[in-house]
């Protein structure tokens, strides 16, 4: 276990949370052991079952193996969303234990089966149980590890699921060799050497059940004692589908992750032909490519936590998808195996990074009551898209080959190297286009999410705020966004909660500040030097903070300020071109590092704002014109995007009552967060 001092250092941000810290959490360590061993066994079992049906299929072996793939795919089509809903309604721990024990028993029973239809039925049932186990694990994870460790936890979860693929394949080869060697003593092993691998697989699921049994997994209180009502399960399933459709963050992450799985399916389906026929490498070369992808995926998953510290996780996710698409394009044009392996590593890295980032964003933004069905839908769609890719891209490659043969020309040159055009190359490019489309759509949905939903409310990490029991809220936005109306409604609402509220404004709020305000906004003042303007705003702000805001916060009041530091960043830093760093440094001096607990940005296009106030006299800033105000509006969004931890972006295009619904939701969260930190206030 980590020491108390180490844990405090992590919480304060003095030391980064590491994989070692994560593994000191006993519950997660047991879950990781269960996942790693059972995933290893699952890959052993998958290879064993396909080998068995290929032997039983005789002259139609390929069709027999296709039957197994259909049996493993069909549950996702039929029961995926319902499985996620069941996870939300049942005890997740018991569900995982039962699923493990049942899968182990079914794999053992396959040892005695010789009929294809029976093996298909058991494969179908095993996949149904897997559809329950996976979402139960993903939905439980945020309750087992600290929020700051979710990215690292997801890295290890996905690594345990997919890094065991090559190990499982090698283990099957070794176990089969042992079975053949023992066949002289045990006739059953001689006739079906895969039997020992199936028994090994069953043992891994028993181990997983024992590990999960020792974990304390919190159950949703509202669901813990309810009887299972299938009609309600169906209603909850429909609610889950509506949730995915209506919630931009869930739709964005799910779509991106699913398409990433589809890209992997394309590589797995096209890889053997691409390596052996297009690159003219031997059969063993395909194993090198698979290993390269696994190495890259492991590196990408392991680096997800560090990447999120440098760049916002949403940006990491989107650009990982774009980079994966670029890797596919480049991979498709490679003239030899060596270069193909290099870019396969990059492809695996970006896919792994996208998966971890997407899973973490879902876990951070989806409520616990919806988490099971969300991950159930994600599992369903991922499996569906993966196996559809396995079928569709080879057919597409064949169509491209027919077209190339019809055209009669299939060569081009890059850097003096002759590249033989083939259907597999073009199909890989098509997969890249698919991923590009997913990246663009994900970016669009994430932008919509930022405009429609509040984000977690915390202070700017690098700036210190003196101890206070009050709550500091700032409203920002371009002219005409409706700040005055929303501030009045916010004041009334907060007073209705019994809170002591103080409303002030910038510039202004004090006698000296009001004089500065008149100077800054009076059109008669004329043009001011940008630096002089910035200093005047900072001077007014310094006086307001010292004589109004800080004393009110010390008394436990809720302070609402019409504009604050972010106005200076947008107007003087960006629109005037003075730069964000200098303006920020100036205002840190003016405010002594006092920043709001929450900034509510009322987003409105500047032309609409000017149209709303066209009958009113315009102040000096409003007279700057639409182009200047457009820069301000863009700057606000950029600042909010760079500092999501302290911004709530509200779409101000609606009527005041609708806008205030979003504002009120943000205020409720801010008040609850203040109460959590200062329960006595």
* pLDDT digit string, tens, across residues 602-614: 988 777 877 776 6
CA-CA-CA-CA dihedral for 226, 231, 237, 241, to nearest 10: -140
What confidence score (pLDDT) does residue 15 get? 42
- Of the pLDDT bands very low, low, confident and very high (cuts 50, 70, 90), residue 457 is very low
What CATH code is carried by the domain that includes residue 566? 3.40.50.300
Compare 672 and 247 and report the one with higher pLDDT. 672
What confidence score (pLDDT) does residue 130 get? 87
- Average pLDDT of the chain to the nearest whole number: 77
Note whether 662 and 620 are same-domain residues. Answer: yes
Compare 283 and 484 and report the one with higher pLDDT. 484
DSSP string across 530-551: HHHHHHHHHHHHHHHIIIIIHH
Q: How far apart, in Å, do the first and last CA atoms of the chain sit?
A: 35
SS (H, E, C) 418-475: EEECCHHHHHHHHHHHHHHHHHHHHHHHHHHHHHHCCCCCCCCCCCCCCCCCCEEEEE
Query: For residue 10, is it within any domain?
Result: yes
Could you read off the pLDDT of 383-419 as tens digits, one per residue? 677 767 766 777 787 788 788 777 766 565 555 566 6
Across residues 224-252, what is the average pLDDT? Answer: 57
User: Using omega within 30 degrees of 0 as the cis cutoff, is the peptide bond preceding 507 cis?
Assistant: yes
Across residues 614-632, what is the average pLDDT? Answer: 77
Compare 587 and 387 and report the one with higher pLDDT. 587
Q: What angle do CA 429, 433, 436 make, to 5 degrees?
A: 135
Residue 640, pLDDT > 60, answer yes
Across residues 210-237, what is the average pLDDT? Answer: 60
CB 554 within 8 A of CB 470: yes
Site of tokens 């004089």: 515
Q: What angle do CA 61, 66, 69 make, to 5 degrees?
A: 135
What confidence score (pLDDT) does residue 272 get? 62
Domain coverage including residue 343: 245-453
Across residues 225-241, what is the average pLDDT? Answer: 53
- Of the pLDDT bands very low, low, confident and very high (cuts 50, 70, 90), residue 191 is low
Residue 229, pLDDT > 60, answer no
Domain stops at, among 418, 453, 488 = 453
Query: For residue 151, is it within any domain?
Result: yes
Note whether 146 and 196 are same-domain residues. Answer: yes
Note whether 67 and 99 are same-domain residues. Answer: yes
Note whether 197 and 269 are same-domain residues. Answer: no
Note whether 198 and 274 are same-domain residues. Answer: no
Could you read off the pLDDT of 289-304 as tens digits, one per residue? 766 777 787 788 778 8
User: Of the spans 5-9, 68-72, 188-192, 476-480, which averages the highest pLDDT?
Assistant: 476-480
State how beta strands 411-414 and 417-420 pair: antiparallel
Across residues 614-631, what is the average pLDDT? Answer: 77
What confidence score (pLDDT) does residue 257 get? 82
* Contacts for 457 with CB less than 8 Å, ≥ 6 apart: 597, 598, 645, 646, 648, 666, 669, 670, 673
Note whether 428 and 485 are same-domain residues. Answer: no
Question: What is the distance between the alpha carbons of residues 335 and 342, in angstroms, rounded to a whole number?
Answer: 12
Compare 161 and 104 and report the one with higher pLDDT. 104
Compare 562 and 367 and report the one with higher pLDDT. 562
Beta bridge partners of 414: 417
Compare 457 and 406 and report the one with higher pLDDT. 406
CB 506 within 8 A of CB 562: yes
**Domains in the chain: how many in total?**
3
Note whether 475 and 448 are same-domain residues. Answer: no
Compare 326 and 238 and report the one with higher pLDDT. 326
Question: What is the distance between the alpha carbons of residues 72 and 480, in angstroms, rounded to a whole number?
Answer: 57
DSSP string across 580-595: HHHHHHHHHHHHTT--
What confidence score (pLDDT) does residue 16 get? 47
Query: For residue 272, is it within any domain?
Result: yes
Note whether 267 and 131 are same-domain residues. Answer: no
Note whether 594 and 484 are same-domain residues. Answer: yes
User: Of the spans 63-72, 491-500, 569-578, which averages the highest pLDDT?
Assistant: 491-500
Token reading at 315? 């940006």
Residue 189, pLDDT > 50, answer yes
Residue 8, pLDDT > 60, answer no
What confidence score (pLDDT) does residue 54 get? 64
* Contacts for 341 with CB less than 8 Å, ≥ 6 apart: 288, 289, 292
Note whether 24 and 97 are same-domain residues. Answer: yes
Across residues 313-317, what is the average pLDDT? Answer: 84
Query: For residue 233, is it within any domain?
Result: no
User: Of the spans 183-187, 449-453, 576-580, which averages the highest pLDDT?
Assistant: 576-580
The order of strands in the sheet holding 558-562 is 501-505, 558-562, 471-476, 598-603, 647-651
Distance of alpha carbon 117 from the chain centroid: 39
Across residues 361-388, what is the average pLDDT? Answer: 68
Across residues 613-625, what is the average pLDDT? Answer: 75
Compare 156 and 322 and report the one with higher pLDDT. 322
What confidence score (pLDDT) does residue 420 get? 66
Note whether 51 and 95 are same-domain residues. Answer: yes
Query: For residue 100, is it within any domain?
Result: yes
Note whether 363 and 449 are same-domain residues. Answer: yes
- Of the pLDDT bands very low, low, confident and very high (cuts 50, 70, 90), residue 132 is confident
Site of tokens 């996949």: 127
- Of the pLDDT bands very low, low, confident and very high (cuts 50, 70, 90), residue 579 is confident
Compare 61 and 647 and report the one with higher pLDDT. 647
Q: Which of 165-169, 488-492, 568-572, 629-633 has the lowest mean pLDDT?
A: 165-169
What confidence score (pLDDT) does residue 560 get? 95
Could you read off the pLDDT of 88-115 as tens digits, one per residue? 777 888 889 999 999 999 999 988 888 8
Phi, psi for 594 (deg, rounded to 5): -85, 115
Query: For residue 466, is it within any domain?
Result: no
Token reading at 172? 């099957």
CB 446 within 8 A of CB 252: yes
What confidence score (pLDDT) does residue 547 get? 94
What confidence score (pLDDT) does residue 187 get? 60
Question: What is the distance between the alpha carbons of residues 389 and 167, in angstroms, rounded to a whole number?
Answer: 24
What CATH code is carried by the domain that includes residue 27? 1.20.1250.20
Domain stops at, among 453, 482, 511 = 453
Name the residue among 573, 456, 540, 483 with its Cα closest to residue 549. 540
Compare 247 and 103 and report the one with higher pLDDT. 103
Question: What is the distance between the alpha carbons of residues 307 and 354, in angstroms, rounded to a whole number?
Answer: 11
Helix, strand, coil: what percent of the chain each, to 5? 75, 5, 20
What confidence score (pLDDT) does residue 222 get? 44
Q: Which of 31-35, 211-215, 400-404, 646-650 has the lowest mean pLDDT?
A: 400-404
Query: For residue 461, is it within any domain?
Result: no
Query: For residue 419, is it within any domain?
Result: yes
What confidence score (pLDDT) does residue 151 get? 65
Of the chain, the percentage scoring pLDDT greater than 90 comes to: 16
Question: What is the distance between the alpha carbons of residues 464 and 437, in angstroms, rounded to a whole number?
Answer: 42
What confidence score (pLDDT) does residue 44 get? 77
- Of the pLDDT bands very low, low, confident and very high (cuts 50, 70, 90), residue 269 is low
């Amino acid at each position: 276990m980590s020491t108390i001092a180490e844990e405090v250092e992590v919480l304060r941000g003095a030391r980064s949370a590491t994989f070692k810290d994560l593994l000191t959490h006993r519950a997660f360590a047991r879950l990781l052991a269960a996942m790693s061993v059972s995933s290893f066994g699952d890959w052993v079992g998958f290879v064993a079952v396909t080998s068995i049906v290929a032997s039983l299929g005789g002259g139609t072996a390929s069709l027999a193996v296709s039957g197994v793939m259909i049996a493993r795919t069909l549950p996702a089509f039929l029961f995926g969303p319902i499985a996620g809903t069941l996870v939300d309604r049942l005890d997740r721990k018991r569900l995982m234990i039962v699923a493990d024990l049942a899968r182990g028993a079914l794999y053992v029973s396959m040892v005695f089966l010789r009929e294809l239809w029976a093996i298909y039925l058991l494969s179908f049932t095993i996949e149904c149980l897997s559809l329950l186990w996976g979402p139960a694990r993903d939905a439980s994870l945020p309750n087992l590890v600290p929020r700051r460790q979710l990215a690292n936890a997801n890295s290890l979860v996905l690594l345990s699921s997919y890094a065991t693929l090559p190990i499982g394949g090698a283990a099957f080869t070794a176990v089969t060799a042992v079975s053949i060697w023992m066949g002289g003593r045990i006739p059953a092993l001689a006739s079906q050497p895969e039997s020992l691998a199936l028994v090994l697989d069953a043992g891994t699921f028993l181990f997983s059940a024992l590990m999960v049994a020792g974990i304390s997994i919190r159950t949703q209180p509202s669901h813990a004692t309810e009887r299972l009502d299938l009609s309600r399960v169906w209603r909850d399933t429909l609610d889950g589908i509506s949730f995915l459709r209506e919630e931009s963050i869930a739709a964005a992450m799910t779509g991106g992750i699913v398409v990433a799985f589809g890209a992997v399916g394309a590589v797995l389906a096209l890889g053997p032909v691409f390596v052996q026929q297009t690159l003219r490498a031997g059969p063993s070369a395909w194993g090198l490519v698979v290993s390269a992808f696994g190495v890259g995926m492991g590196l990408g998953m392991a680096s997800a936590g560090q990447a999120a510290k440098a760049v916002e996780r949403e940006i990491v996710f989107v650009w990982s998808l774009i980079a994966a698409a670029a890797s596919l394009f480049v991979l498709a044009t490679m003239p030899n195996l060596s270069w193909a392996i290099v870019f396969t590593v990059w492809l695996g890295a970006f896919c792994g990074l996208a998966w971890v980032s997407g899973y973490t964003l879902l876990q951070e933004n989806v409520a616990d009551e919806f988490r099971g069905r969300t991950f159930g839908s994600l599992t369903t769609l991922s499996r569906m898209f993966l196996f559809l890719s396995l079928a569709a891209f080879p057919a597409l490659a064949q169509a491209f080959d027919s077209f190339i043969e019809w055209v009669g020309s299939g060569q081009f040159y890059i850097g003096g190297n002759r590249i033989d055009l083939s259907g597999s190359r073009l199909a890989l490019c098509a997969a890249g286009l698919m991923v590009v489309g997913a990246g663009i759509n994900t970016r669009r949905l994430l932008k919509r999410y930022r405009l429609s939903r509040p984000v977690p409310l915390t202070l700017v990490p690098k700036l210190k705020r003196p101890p206070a029991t009050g709550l500091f809220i700032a409203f920002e936005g371009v002219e005409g966004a409706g700040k005055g109306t929303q501030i009045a409604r916010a004041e009334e609402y907060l007073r209705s909660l019994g809170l002591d509220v103080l409303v002030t404004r910038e510039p202004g709020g004090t006698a000296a500040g009001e004089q500065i305000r008149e100077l800054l906004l009076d059109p008669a003042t004329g043009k001011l030097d940008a630096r002089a303007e910035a200093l005047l705003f900072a001077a007014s702000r310094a006086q307001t903070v010292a004589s109004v805001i800080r004393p009110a916060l010390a008394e436990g009041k809720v302070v609402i300020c019409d504009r604050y530091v972010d106005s200076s960043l947008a107007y003087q830093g960006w629109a005037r071109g003075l730069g964000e760093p200098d303006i920020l440094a100036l205002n840190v001096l003016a405010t002594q590092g006092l920043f709001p607990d929450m900034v509510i940005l009322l987003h409105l296009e500047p032309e609409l704002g000017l149209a709303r106030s066209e009958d009113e006299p315009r102040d000096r800033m409003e007279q700057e014109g639409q182009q200047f105000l457009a820069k301000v509006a863009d700057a606000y969004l950029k600042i909010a995007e760079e500092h999501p931890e302290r911004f709530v972006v509200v779409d101000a295009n609606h009527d005041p009552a609708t806008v205030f619904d979003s504002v009120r939701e943000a205020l409720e969260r801010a008040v609850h967060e203040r109460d959590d930190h200062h329960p006595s206030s």
